């Protein structure tokens, strides 16, 4: 098994990140945006970004990515200002290799550096693997919305 390394996402990673996102959204039958331009503006270069990390294998192939943003006063999730907003996307072929956990360690460092006390993950209610992943890394359900489960991680 190859080693997983986590690093900051770069502009040139947007195409590979976009492909991972497109593949996942296809399985979910979701119409959410996934273009290279969207990934670049919504994840890699987002103005509220605390960290956007990619996990790469020994050959430099991107296996997944995770975005951590700070919730502003008005945000799409209705979260309290200052909370973290996290999203995780891992290539299906890399599932079970610790990619998500490695990405979260990097995001957790960024959250601590930014004095974030709560991180929200809003997951599709039918996304069993996503729900299980966030449970496994210490998130707890705090709210349900139509079609979604809201989990949060509280930093000590």
- For the 5-114 domain, the top CATH level (class) is alpha beta
17's tokens: 């990140």
Closest CA to 3 of 71, 56, 46, 47: 56
Closest CA to 93 of 20, 36, 14: 20
Residue numbers in the chain where pLDDT is lower than 50: none
Q: Is residue 91 within 8 Å of residue 55, measured between CB atoms?
A: no
Q: Is residue 22 within 8 Å of residue 34, measured between CB atoms?
A: yes
Task: State pTM to two decimals.
Answer: 0.95
Instruction: State the Cα angle at 29 between 64 and 129, rounded to 5°.
Output: 50
pLDDT of residue 28: 86
């Amino acid at each position: 098994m190859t080693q997983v390394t986590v690093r900051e996402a770069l502009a040139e990673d947007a195409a590979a990140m976009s492909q991972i996102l497109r593949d996942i959204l296809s399985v979910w039958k979701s119409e959410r945006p996934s273009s290279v331009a969207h990934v670049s503006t919504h994840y890699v270069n987002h103005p509220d970004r605390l960290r956007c990390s990619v996990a790469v294998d020994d050959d430099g192939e991107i296996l997944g990515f995770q975005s951590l943003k700070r919730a502003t006063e008005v945000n799409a999730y209705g979260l309290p200002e200052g909370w973290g907003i996290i999203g995780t996307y891992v290539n299906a072929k890399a599932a079970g290799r610790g990619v998500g956990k490695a990405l979260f360690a990097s995001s957790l460092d960024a959250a601590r550096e930014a004095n974030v006390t709560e991180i929200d993950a809003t997951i599709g209610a039918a996304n069993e693997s996503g729900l299980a992943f966030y449970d496994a890394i210490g998130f707890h359900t705090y709210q349900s919305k139509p079609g979604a489960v809201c989990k949060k991680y509280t930093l000590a």
